[in-house]
Chain A
Amino acid sequence: MQTAKTLKEYRKELRESLDNEFLREAMDKFATAYPVSRANAFRGLDEKAMIAEVADAKDAAARNMDGLYAQFKAEAEKRGVKVHMAKDAAEANEIIARIAKNSNCKKIVKSKSMTAEETLLNHRLEDDGLEVIETDLGEWIIQLRHEGPTHMVMPAIHLSRYQVADLFSEVTKQKQEVDIQRLVKVARRELRQHFATADMGISGANFAIAESGTIGLVTNEGNARLVTTLPRVHVALCGLDKLTPSLNDALKSLRVLPRNATGQAITSYVTWITGANECRAAADEKKEMHIVFLDNGRRALAQDPLFSQVMRCVRCGACANVCPVYRLVGGHKMGHIYIGAIGLILTYFFHGKDKARNLVQNCINCESCKSICAGGIDLPRLIKEIRARLSEEDGAPVEATLLGKVLKNRKLFHTLLRFGKYAQKPVTGGTPYLRHLPQMFMKDHGFRALPAIADKAFRDEWETIRPRVANAKLRVALFSGCVQDFVYPEQMKAAVKVLASRGVEMDFPMDQSCCGLPVQMMAERQATIDVARQNVMAFDAAKYDYILTLCASCASHLKEGYPNILAGQTDMTGKVKLFASKVIDFSSFVHDVLGMTADDFKGKGEKVAYHSSCHLCRGLGVVEQPRALIASSGSEYCPAQEEAVCCGFGGTFSMKFPELSKELLDKKLNNAEATGATRMVADCPGCIMQIRGGAEKRGNRMKVGHIAELLAENLK
C-alpha cells in the first residue's frame, strides 16, 4: 500500500526494499524462471493471435458493459441468484455486510478475490464483528500478517518459509518445522475445519458469462470449490470488467490467463457456477447466492477512448512478472493494492491520485509489460498519459516545465547544449567524463561516470564530413537525437562511414531537434506535441527512402509514438504517417536494406557482448539483425544472460530513481562481464551512456559503444 506523501518518502521506502535480501533473492529467482516457463507454455501456439483475440473480445464486452450486465442479471435471477450493483467500494462492502447480517452469518470463508482487496472488504466485515478467513494459502498467510498482497497471483511471494513456519506456530500453538510440504499440510488441516463451520463463502469471479448467468473461477488449490460449496450462503464479488457475452469469449481468455500468470496451460480447477445450486446446509437445500458487481469507476473507464483498454486486464499479474522495477522493489512498493504496471494505472482510477502520484513515476518505460500483456494493453503509454494528466491537474515540477520550454525552442536548446561544453570544463579534467560533480549531485549518482558534451556537435561538422555520392540508389535522412548530436557525434560519424561504403546518399536536416521522449516522460504534453511537429516538419519525408536513426529510443518514439502524439492534429495526419513509415533503425537498415554480410568486413575476432535495448527489441521488434551483424563484423558474439532486460537508464528515470537505476546497471554489467567479452555494443546512445559510465566507474576495461562503431572499424 502507498503511504508515502512525497517522492522523497517513496524513495526512502524503495531503499528499504532494496536492502531486503530475501526479497531480492526471491524476486531474482522468479524473474529469471518466469520467462522460461511462459515461453514453454506458449510453445507451438500463435501467442500474438491469441492475445489479439482476448483484446477484441474484451473491447467488445467493455463497449456493451451495461447491456451485458442487464442480460447477466436476468439470466442469473432466473436461476435463483440475487444480483446487485455497487457503485463504489463502500457500497459493495455495505451490500455484503448486509447480506451477512440478514442471513445471520457469523463466520465467513473467502477464496482469492482482487476485487475484494480493492474494496478492503475484510476490514468492513471484521468491523461488524464477523470472523473472516482467507483460504487461499498465500492470502491466508498475508491475512495472518495483516499485510496486503505483493503479487496478484502469488500474494505472499515476499515471505520466506521461516516466516511462514513462525506464523503457523502461532496459529496452532505448536512449534512447526521449517518444511514447505509440511507447512502446506498444516494449512490444509487448519483451514478444512473453517470450511466445515463457515456460514458464508465469498469468492471473486474471473468470468461472468451473460448468456447463462454463469461465473467462472480459475484456481489451483481447490479452495474456491469448497468456499462455493460448503457454506449455506455464497457471495461472489465481481468487477464489471469480468462480464463477457458467451462461454466462447471466456475460453479465449482462459487460454491466455494461466499461461501468462504461471506458465500453466490451464489451472488445476476451472469452475463454472450457474445459479443457486443444491446446498444441503441450507434450510431448503438450496444455496443462497448473491453476485455483487462492482463499478468503482469501471463504467466511466469503459467509455474512455484511450483508457478503455484497461478493461482488457485479466489479472494475470504478468506485467509485474517481467517488470525490472518490480523485481527490485516488490509489490508493496510497486503498487497500492493492484500490483505491477496495471497496478500503477488502476491505482490512479480506483484509489485516487494521491495514492498514484509517486507510483506512476516508477516506470522505466522499458515496454516489457506491453510485450507480454494478456490483453495487449499499451501499459507504458497509459502510464505516461497518467503522468501528463497528473501534471495538468496538479502543476508540473519546475524542471519539467523548464525543459519543456527550452525544447520548444530548438535554437535555444542547441545553444545551451553548445554552451555546456564550456561550462563543464572545470569538471571533466580533460577526459570525456564529468569528473567532479558537485557533492549533492554525486551522492546518489556516483554509480556511473556521466559523459561530457563533445567539443564539436555532429550538426556543426556535417557540412565538412558529408560524403559526396554520385548515382546513389538510396537516399537517407539522418536523425541524430540529442545524445549523438552533442555527446557522441563519433557514433554518427561511424554510421556515415558504413553507409558511404555502400554509396548511400545522406542528408542531415538542420531543423531537427530532440525527439521529445524526455519531455513526454516528464509529462509535458504540449512540449511533446510541439517537438513532434517540429521534427516531422523538418524532414521532407517524400524526398527520402528512409529516415535513419542510431538511437533505439528515438526510432521507437518517432515511428510508434508520433502517430499517437499527433493524432489530434488534423493538418499533420498525412505527414506524420509518411514520416513514421520511413523511420528505420541502424541495424535493420544495414542488415535488411543494405544486406551487408561477412564479405563486407574484415574481423579481428574480438569478443563482443550485446545489450538489446528496450526500444529496439520490444519497441520495434528488432531482435536478430544486430546479433547477425556482430557476427558478420568478424567478431565473436558472446551471448549474455538477460540481454533484453533494461540497463536502468530510462532517460529521466535514472535521474528520479538513481538507486534503482544503479541496481539494474549492476546486473547488466555483471552479466556482460560473465561472458568474458572485452567489448559491449548496443543500438542506443542512452544505454551506452549508462553502461559505459558504469564500466568506467568499475574500471572493468570493457569497451562500450554503438554497433555502428564496431562495423565502421571492421569495414574492409
Chain B
Amino acid sequence: MSATNDLARLMREKAEAVGATVVELKNLKEAFAYALDVCDKKEACQLLVSGCEEKLSDKAEALCETKQEKVVAAPNLSDDEYAAFSALCAERGVKCIREGLRGHLAGIDIGVAHADMAIAETGTCVIDSTSEELRLSSMISEIHMAILPKSRIKATAFDAEREVNALINTGTPRYTAFITGPSRTADIERVLAIGVHGPLELHILMLED
C-alpha cells in the first residue's frame, strides 16, 4: 500500500505544481458531493462563462448569450453512476447532461470524468476520450474534474506505456488525452495566463480503492 501512497503523494505534488487542485476522497459518493459543492460556490451571483464579461465582437457576444443556466456534464459515468449524480444535481437545481454537448459550446460549468490512469512524475491524467461527448466536456468546461482511483497511478510514462498503447491501438479509431493542469498560454510577453481555450481549473479527485 505504501507504494500506492508514494505515487499518490508524487502525483499530488507534480499536479499541484502545474496548477491543478488535488483532493483525496473516500469514494464516488464523496466525489459527486465535492463536484456539486464546487458548482454551488462557482460564480454564486452570475452564470457568465469566462471571458463573456469582456468587451467582445457581436458574434462572440451572441455565443455567450446562449448559456442561460448552470450545467455540469458527466459523459463517461456508468448508467447507475449517472443516475445517482443527476439526482444530486436536480436537488441543487443544476442541469446535468451526458450528451448534446455541441449545444453548449459557449461553455459549461463543470465536466466530470473518470480518468483511466495517471502518470505521477508529470502529474498527468490519462483519459480515453474517444467519445465525442466526453472530449467536449473536458474542453468546454470551465472546471474539469478527473476521478482517479489511487491504484491507477503509474510512476512514469514508460510504466504506463503498455496500457496507453492498449488505449490508442485497438484497431478502431481512438482519441486519447494526456491532461496536465489547466489550459495555459504565455504567448503575450511570456506572462502565464490560465484558461485560454480549455478549462480554467483542473481538479483531480483521488479516490481510495
Contacts and interface: CB of A to CB of B under 8 A. Distances in A.
A and B are interacting partners: yes
Interface of A: 26, 29-30, 33, 78-80, 135-138, 141, 154-157, 159-161, 164, 171-176, 180-193, 195-196, 209, 211-212, 214, 220-223, 225-226, 228-230, 247-248, 251, 254-255, 262, 264-281, 287
B91 to A, nearest CB: 30
B198 A247 contact: no
Contacts of B121: 265
Contact of B51 (A189, A225, A262): A189
Interface stretch (B25-33, B80-88, B147-155, B188-196): B188-196
Interface in B143-172: 157-158, 161, 164-165, 167-172
Contacts of B3: none
B56 A137 contact: no
B178 A275 contact: no
Nearest to B58: A173
B105 A275 contact: no
B105 A277 contact: no
B60, B182, B195, most chain A CB atoms within 10 A: B60
Contacts of B174: 214, 272-275, 277
Given A186-B56, A268-B183, 13 more contacts: A180-B193, A190-B60, A192-B106, A212-B165, A222-B199, A229-B175, A265-B180, A268-B180, A270-B177, A270-B180, A272-B174, A277-B175, A280-B102
Contacts of B187: 136-138, 141, 154-156
A262 B18 CA distance: 13
Contacts of B98: none
Contacts of B167: 272
A101 B51 CA distance: 34
Contact of B139 (A156, A157, A229): A229
A187 B122 contact: no
B63 interface: yes
Contacts of A272: 164, 167-168, 174-178
A195 to B, nearest CB: 7
17 contacts: A26-B190, A138-B187, A141-B188, A173-B57, A180-B189, A185-B53, A186-B56, A220-B186, A229-B132, A247-B161, A269-B179, A269-B183, A271-B177, A272-B177, A274-B170, A274-B174, A276-B173
Chain B interface extent, by class: 35 or more
Contacts of A262: 186
Contact of B191 (A180, A273, A275, A279): A180
A184 B182 CA distance: 14
Interface in B71-113: 102, 105-107
A63 B62 CA distance: 53
A266 B122 contact: yes
A247 to B, nearest CB: 5
Given A137-B187, A268-B183, A274-B168, A184 B196 contact: yes
Contacts of B180: 265-270
Contact of A222 (B62, B139, B178): B139
Contacts of A180: 188-189, 191, 193
Contacts of A195: 105
A197 B199 CA distance: 20
Contact of A161 (B64, B138, B188): B188
A88 to B, nearest CB: 30
B184 interface: yes
B9 interface: no
Contact of A171 (B53, B57, B170): B57
Interface string B31-48: 000000000000000000
Contacts of B168: 209, 212, 214, 247, 272, 274
Contacts of B132: 229, 277-280
Nearest to B174: A274
A184 B52 CA distance: 12
A185, A230, A264, most chain B CB atoms within 10 A: A185
B157 A275 contact: no
A455 to B, nearest CB: 53
